[in-house]
Amino acid sequence: MNEPDIVGGDTPDPSKDDSIPIDPRTVARVARLLRWYPSDWRARYGNEFEAMLYSSFNAGEGGARLSLDVVKEGLIARVVGSGVVGTVAPPLKRARASVAEIFVGIVGFLVAATVLSHYVERWRAFPTSTALERAQRSIGPVLRSAQDAIRSPSVSPAQRYAAEKPYFLEAQRLWNHAYLHQASGAPVAFDQIMHISLDAAAACLGIILVVGLIAGVTTLTRRRRTRLLVPGILLAAAGGVLVLREIAFRSSRFPYSFSLEIRAVLRGSPWAWPSVAYSLFPLLAVVLIALGGAILLSRAELGVHACKWMGRLAVGTGALLVVALVCTLGWALTLSSQAPGYLFWSHQGVFGTSLLSVFVVAVLIMAGATGLVIGGSTRCLRTESFESA
């Protein structure tokens, strides 16, 4: 349904024909359905497709199935028209969409790798971490009871600090002890190579975003101001969220105990909001940066040479992501041989599941993101894509 079955520019518009009674609700429904299609598609096929919809509704065929088909085909037309897939969009538009794909792919890879690193941060201490986990669970209720007891306004800051200090010292001792038993051999080498590759990929991501911002500023000085309003707002909001995250970090005394703080907020203790914000705001900022950056890169005036240069940069970034992915798999295999049962360690995954579930999901996302970067770089570097640019 990308192109309507009824063609011909002389087709009458039933909504403007007084001889055909039209229900106002039908007119509103047709208008809503047409908005699912991009503006250039509506300019070319809108009248014919609108006539077909009115004809179907008058014949009693305007059920939910027809609406769902129209919505589905409208979304497909938007995706194809944006240049993300297919060859309908102009070559330069397809290249800009590929740059946006590269940006989203790198962001997705880094997010998945960061989440995985968070869940496996104590891999060097396994299996001693299981004993430390039990010790931390035992001291947690005592610490919470002490905190609740000294929340009274009559307690001075000095008294509060004196009461909490022993528990802070014990928690710090447990945390330091978790890194006394260092793993050796291949896992350490794989871990270091993986982090170096991720740092380099993050630098490439920053370069792509800076180039997009420069191109966006150039576009703003020329024309089409409203087209860059949305990505500008999203990126500015991401910056504001990161500032609030830093404020929350400075205000929080427990920036890493998210589960403890979220329970405190649910119990009605507003003093715990900084730690919750510290944990949630980075995720919100990443989503805003991914959306804003992708829209900016697809709309900014990136020329042929800029897109090809981005493609070359994406080739190097894709190689870095492949190295990081291979090192992640090699790290897991060698560490599992040194510490059997590590990937099946419970209480590390989501909702108390084993670490294997988190590992598999993260690796799948990383592999898909790598494919997106490599595919986008291929489209940018394909010379025939710019024949009509």
- For 14-37, the DSSP string reads GGG-TTS---HHHHHHHHHHHTTS
Question: Could you read off the pLDDT tens digit of each residue along the chain, which spans 389 residues?
Answer: 444 444 444 444 544 544 444 667 778 888 888 888 888 788 888 788 888 888 887 777 767 788 888 888 888 888 887 777 777 777 888 888 889 999 999 999 999 999 898 888 777 766 665 555 666 666 666 666 666 666 666 667 676 666 666 666 666 665 565 554 455 678 888 989 999 999 999 999 999 999 988 888 887 776 656 578 888 899 999 999 888 887 777 766 544 455 555 555 566 565 556 666 777 788 889 999 999 999 888 888 888 888 889 999 999 999 999 999 999 999 998 888 877 778 887 766 777 788 888 899 999 999 999 999 999 898 888 755 455 44
Q: What is the pLDDT, as a whole number, of residue 134?
A: 60
Nearest one of 55, 50, 112 to 283, comparing CA atoms: 112
d(CA 108, CA 363) in angstroms, rounded, equals 11
Q: What is the pLDDT, as a whole number, of residue 260?
A: 54
As a whole number of Å, the end-to-end CA separation of the chain is 27
Two tokens, residue 309: 């240069």
* Coil, helix or strand at residue 222: coil
Q: What is the pLDDT, as a whole number, of residue 384?
A: 54
Exposed/middle/buried for residue 25 (C-beta within 10 Å: 0-12, 13-18, 19+): exposed
Report in angstroms the alpha-carbon separations of 224 from 96, 186, 214, 227, 288.
16, 53, 15, 6, 22
Which residues have a Cβ under 8 Å from the Cβ of 258 and sit 6 or more positions away?
275, 276, 279
Domain map (residue ranges) of the chain: 14-82, 92-122+184-222+301-389, 126-177, 234-290
d(CA 276, CA 252) in angstroms, rounded, equals 9
With 0.85 as the threshold, say if the pTM is over it.
no
Report in angstroms the alpha-carbon separations of 371 from 152, 299, 317, 322.
56, 23, 11, 9
CB 377 within 8 A of CB 311: yes
Q: What is the pLDDT, as a whole number, of residue 146?
A: 62
CB 26 within 8 A of CB 54: yes
- The answer as to CATH 1.10.760 being correct for domain 92-122+184-222+301-389 is no
The dihedral region occupied by 11, where left means phi > 0, alpha psi between -120 and 50, and beta the remainder, is beta
